[in-house]
Structure 1
Amino acid sequence: MKYTAFIADDEVRSRELLQNLLEELCPELTVTGTAATVDEAVKSIHQLQPQILFLDIEMHPGTGFDILQKLSPSASAQVIFTTAYDQYAIRALRISAVDYLLKPIDVQELQSAVQKAIRQINNKQPQQQLQHLLQNLVKQQQDYTISLSTSEGLEFIPIASVLHLEANGAYTVFYLKENRKIMVSKNLKEYESILADHGFFRVHNSHLINLKEVKRYLKTDGGYVVMNDDTSISISPRKKEELLQLLSGRAL
């Protein structure tokens, strides 16, 4: 079965390279169109109705996010963003669990992203994370929500409601306010990097804490913190000094 794709990128070489990679490595895709500007992309996507969109983030003028905002909520395509390293953009994508490819594009990551998009098309799964992404882009950082994939579906949780996280093998348990918890099928290391810019710190191999939710730090028993839900969490000796610096710099 053939699936249709569309590429939006303001650089000719980038468009041609991605199209060539797709033709060579993903024969199940047919690229039905490309565009160099936001307006051109929006017009063509409305006309062609492709199933998978490859949107460059740093288009000039405008961004791939602008394309998405102009298409939403009518667009039903699966979206894969492409970008050179852009810290702000990547943080937003990762928090919202939206697929992206870093330039230069890795062949295996491209094939994996395409296969994931095809599975979602076949399962008729809407890419709910896109609306979540758009909402985060217009919020203040303290109001961000994070997309969590659970056994029952997707949950969009305010980051400010997360007290701490605990590793459970290949899974991660989120401990939330109001005595809730959610288990997610990703490891703690992944969330360590996603949440680092939101005031979270890994105090132990098994624990990542929200620094704003620390109630007390105690020196006894090797050092531990008490969180606002009264959970006691031990501190790794090599993390103690950095943690104390972060806590001493926290606004009270």
Structure 2
Amino acid sequence: MSEMDGMAAARRIRERDDKVVIVFITAAPQYAISGYEVRALSYLLKPLPWFAFSQELKKSIDMVRRNGDDSMLIETGNGQMRLNLADILYLESIRHTIVIHTLEGKLSINGTLKDVEAKLADHHFFRSNSCYLVNLKHVTGVADQDCIMSNGEQLRVSRPRKKAFMAALTDYMGGGR
């Protein structure tokens, strides 16, 4: 590559996303050890027979499938970052901004709660009212019209959504994970 070598590209990729599967295909075996720095899945030497390539491709796809469902890529002011869904407590809509409340703090992104809700539909998030999308994993209890989160916060569950919220929470706690 003319502007940067593969190792520099891999380092830049790792800065943004630590789950990307990296496989080096090269004619330079002396750089194989450097692949460990960026946690490359493998380092294949040219000429590469089709069978070896197809086996490596299957291995890479399996790795992506194992790691793919538990995170989402978000666009922040500084670029993109991967966020583990298990780290999200809840998402809050404030005007045209989504505030993502995580175990580590808060992140803000542009968008609508409706769009994020659609992306997280199969990941045990529930719309408790017009401005909250709650991660059921972090709900520790329910008191009156509020759900109690693992960080102690209490979030309002709207009256029309309470029955469906309780059903979703019961299903999740009962093993619908």
Q: TM-score, with normalisation over the residues of structure 1? A: 0.43
| SS at 2:72 equivalent | strand
The total of aligned residue pairs comes to 119
Task: Give the match for residue 171 of structure 1.
Answer: 97
- Percent sequence identity over matched residues? 25
Q: CA deviation at 1:187?
A: 1.3
Q: CA deviation at 1:73?
A: 7.4
Partner Cα separation in structure 1 for residue 160 and residue 123 of structure 2: 22
8 Å Cα contact 2:113-2:131 kept in structure 1: yes
8 Å Cα contact 1:136-1:145 kept in structure 2: no
Partner Cα separation in structure 1 for residue 72 and residue 116 of structure 2: 10
Deviations 1:72-93 (A, max 9, x none): 879xxxxxxxxxxxxxxxxxxx
Kindly indicate whether residue 127 of structure 2 is the aligned counterpart of residue 202 of structure 1: yes
Q: CA deviation at 1:135?
A: 8.8
Deviations 1:103-153 (A, max 9, x none): xxxxxxxxxxxxxxxxxxxxxxxxxxxxxxx79842256x52101101111
Kindly indicate whether residue 142 of structure 2 is the aligned counterpart of residue 217 of structure 1: yes
Kindly indicate whether residue 75 of structure 2 is the aligned counterpart of residue 149 of structure 1: yes
Change (3 A) 1:136 1:166: farther
Kindly indicate whether residue 109 of structure 2 is the aligned counterpart of residue 187 of structure 1: no
Task: Give the match for residue 39 of structure 2.
Answer: none
Task: Kindly report which structure 2 residues correspond to 1:89-108, keeping only aligned pairs within 5 A, or say none.
Answer: none
Partner Cα separation in structure 1 for residue 72 and residue 24 of structure 2: 20
| SS at 1:249 equivalent | helix
8 Å Cα contact 2:124-2:172 kept in structure 1: no
Amino acid at match of 2:143: L
Partner Cα separation in structure 1 for residue 110 and residue 62 of structure 2: 24
| SS at 2:108 equivalent | strand
Amino acid at match of 1:228: S
Amino acid at match of 1:157: L
Amino acid at match of 1:185: N
Kindly indicate whether residue 169 of structure 2 is the aligned counterpart of residue 247 of structure 1: yes
Kindly indicate whether residue 66 of structure 2 is the aligned counterpart of residue 139 of structure 1: yes
Task: Give the match for residue 226 of structure 1.
Answer: 148
Amino acid at match of 2:120: L
Q: CA deviation at 1:188?
A: 0.9
8 Å Cα contact 1:146-1:156 kept in structure 2: yes
Unaligned stretches of 5+ residues in structure 2: 1-20, 26-60
Change (3 A) 1:152 1:233: same
Q: CA deviation at 1:250?
A: 2.4
8 Å Cα contact 1:136-1:144 kept in structure 2: no
Kindly indicate whether residue 85 of structure 2 is the aligned counterpart of residue 159 of structure 1: yes
